[in-house]
Amino acid sequence: MEIDHVAIVVKDLNAALALYTGTLGFKEVYRETLAEQGIEAVGLDAGGCILELLRPLNENSPVARYRGDAETKLHHTAYRVADLQAELNRLKAAGVRLINDTPRRGAHGNLIAFLHPASAQGVLIELCQPSTEHP
């Protein structure tokens, strides 16, 4: 597995973009709203992987509640796999608790699924299979 992206929940997307693009020089590679997940996602090229900024669409969403009172908070790390369903099957057979038993659509057209933090030493892990539509 390789790191695909690291996601950070942000309260103020404009301020976060000013830091990461203006000050640090990262380049924006995608921006999209995922209404079904309650987020706006902005992907930034971080030299071989993506830094994904997640802005909750409303303060009652699960992502906003996770962030709490913090301005920003690390949300999850995502690892790239070639066959997501096969990997989920393998992990489930090994006793890993999954949040998603089957892949679903995520940002940038990827197929995604999450492992439960209880099976990952308290860390939220996303597995993703890159879309063939988006290199």
Say if residues 33 and 106 touch (Cβ distance below 8 Å).
no
Average pLDDT of the segment spanning 10-36: 94
CA gap 113, 120 in Å, rounded? 14
Residue 134, pLDDT > 80, answer: no
Per-residue pLDDT at 108 = 82
CATH code for the domain of 11: 3.10.180.10
Q: Note whether residue 29 is domain-resident.
A: yes
pLDDT digits (tens, 9 = 90+) for 5-22: 999 999 999 999 999 999
Q: Note whether residue 22 is domain-resident.
A: yes
Per-residue pLDDT at 133 = 62
User: Where is pLDDT greater, at 36 or 125?
Assistant: 125
Query: Which residue in the block uniquely carries the two structure tokens 């640090």?
Result: 24
Q: Note whether residue 134 is domain-resident.
A: no
pLDDT digits (tens, 9 = 90+) for 98-130: 999 999 999 888 999 999 999 999 999 999 998
Q: Note whether residue 135 is domain-resident.
A: no
Counted domains in the chain: 1
Q: Note whether residue 113 is domain-resident.
A: yes
Per-residue pLDDT at 30 = 94
Nearest in space to 132 (alpha carbons), one of 113, 105, 109, 104: 109
Say if residues 31 and 42 touch (Cβ distance below 8 Å).
yes
CA gap 53, 42 in Å, rounded? 5
